Structure 1
Amino acid sequence: MTDPRRVHVPAARVVRWFDNFEGRHGAASLTVTGGALSATASDGAQAVAHLPFDRSYDGPADPAAFAAATADPVRWGLLVVRRGGFAVAGGAGPSVGVRKVGRRHVQGKTKAGGWSQQRYARRRDNQARTAFEAAADHAVRLLVDELGGVSALVTGGDRKAVEDVLADARLREVAARRTSLHLALGDPDAGVVDKAVADLLSAVVVVTDPAD
C-alpha cells in the first residue's frame, strides 16, 4: 500500500467521487466503522470518508446518505493567522455570513548583529503582537458578537500565531469548539478564504492506493 493522501470532497460531489473510485479500482465494499464511511475496492485500494467538523457518521453504508450528512448545516468559524495577516469568517451551512481579511505590517528579519538586531527583534515582536490583537478583536466581533458563537472552529496558517490569538480570554468558548482540521494556507486574501471555506465544509477522504 502507498502512503495515505487526503482529499476534500464537497457534499455535491460525494456520490460521484465514490463512483469514480470504483471506476479506477474495481467494485468496492462499503462499511461504516469508527464514525466514517469506508470503501475497500477489489484491487485493495481503500477510502475512508469523514464528515466535516469531526462529526461522527452513523448512517447507512451508502454514499448518498453520507453526502446528505456532509451537507447538514453547522454553525462554523474559520480563523487563519500569519504574521502580518489574518482572516476570520463564519456562517451556518454553505453560506458565509461574516468575513474579515486584514493585513498588518511586520518587520522582516535583519542580518545586523548586536544591539541593532535586538532592537529590530523587539520591533518585530511588537508588530506581531499588534497584528494578533487585531485578529482577536475581529474574531470576537464576528464570531462571538455577530454570529453568536460557533459549534465548530477550523484554523489555518501559522499554528503558533493561531495559539496566540486564541489565548485571548474573550475567545475561550470559540477556542473550545476547535476541530482537528488545520489548513496549511499562505497569507490570507479573499481567494485563500474562499478555498478554505470550501475545504472546511467538505468531507475529508483518506485514500490509500494499492502498491504498484
Structure 2
Amino acid sequence: MTRIVSIGPERLERWLAGFTERHGDTSYAVTPDQVTATADDGSRAEIEVPFGPLADLTPGGLVAHVLADRRIGLLLVRRGGYGAGVFEGGKLVDSKVGSRHVQGTTKAGGWSQQRFARRRDNQAREAFNAATEVAVRILGSAKLDVLVCGGDRKAIDTVLEDPRLKAIRPLVRPPFLGVADPRQKVLEQAGVDARAIRIELTDPPGSD
C-alpha cells in the first residue's frame, strides 16, 4: 500500500531515524530532486526535495537543505479573493488579504445572459487587478528566495503577467496549493503547507 504523508521541516531528521527504527537498516538513493529510503523489510519512502535542487546528495544534506533559512513568498488568488504573504522560516512577517465580489453563473439567456457575462468579466478583472496590486506591494520588492502559489492557476498566471512582477516569476516553485478563498487563516495555513515535506510511503511486500 502507498500513501502520502506531510511533515514540517523541523521533524524530518527525527522522522528518518524513526523510519529506520521501525523498518530496519536503511539505504538511500539521492538525486537533486528526490531522496529514496529503502529499508531491510522492503519499506520505501520517496521524499521530494522542496525548493530544489539538492546540492549535498546525502540524507544529512537533505536535512540541512530543508532547514535552511529562506524568505518564502506566497501568492494565493481565486475569483473570490486573494492574498500575499512573506514568510521567514515559519514566521509570517508581512501579508495582505482581500476580496472582490464576482457573480456566479446564471441560467438566463439572450441579452440578459450577455449583460450578466460582461458584468461578471468586469468584476473578475477588477478582482485580479486588486490581487496584482497587493502582489506588487507585498512581494515585488521583498527579496524572496522562493515563490509558492495557490488557488486558481489561470488567475495566478494573470497576476504574474504584470511587468512589475517580472523579477519574481522565475522564483515560482511547487507545490501549487489548493486553497479556499484566501483569508488570513488560509494564508497562514498555506505557509505551513508550502514548507511541508511530502513523503510517499510504500509498505513492505506482503503487508496488505
* TM-score band, normalised by shorter chain: 0.7 to 0.9
State which drifts further: 179-188 or 129-138: 179-188
State which drifts further: 170-179 or 90-99: 90-99
2:8 pairs, out of 4, 10, 25, with 10
| Alignment gaps of 5+ in structure 1 | none
Partner of 1:134: 130
The letter of the residue matching 1:38 is T
**Counterparts of residues 50-65 of structure 1 (less than 5 Å):** 50-62=48-60, 65=61
Q: TM-score, normalised by structure 1?
A: 0.86
Q: TM-score, normalised by structure 2?
A: 0.88
1:108 pairs, out of 104, 107, 111, with 104
The letter of the residue matching 1:31 is A
Separation in 2, partners of 1:137, 1:160: 17
Deviations 1:149-177 (A, max 9, x none): 32211010111111111111111111121
The letter of the residue matching 2:53 is R
The change in CA–CA distance for 1:25 and 1:125 in structure 2 (over 3 A counts) is farther
Conserved? CA contact 1:31–1:39, under 8 Å: yes
Deviations 1:93-150 (A, max 9, x none): 32222111111100111111111111111111111111111111011111124x2x32
Q: Percent identity?
A: 44
Deviations 1:6-33 (A, max 9, x none): 4332121112322343455444222323
Conserved? CA contact 1:40–1:46, under 8 Å: yes
Corresponding residue pairs, total = 206
The change in CA–CA distance for 1:97 and 1:115 in structure 2 (over 3 A counts) is same
The letter of the residue matching 1:50 is E
| Alignment gaps of 5+ in structure 2 | none
2:95 pairs, out of 79, 99, 102, with 99
Note if 1:177 corresponds to 2:175.
no
Note if 1:72 corresponds to 2:68.
yes
Deviation at 1:71, TM superposition (A): 1.3
**What is the CA RMSD across the aligned residues, in angstroms?**
2.1
The letter of the residue matching 2:91 is S
**Counterparts of residues 126-165 of structure 1 (less than 5 Å):** 126-145=122-141, 147=142, 149-165=143-159
Note if 1:207 corresponds to 2:201.
yes
Deviation at 1:35, TM superposition (A): 4.1
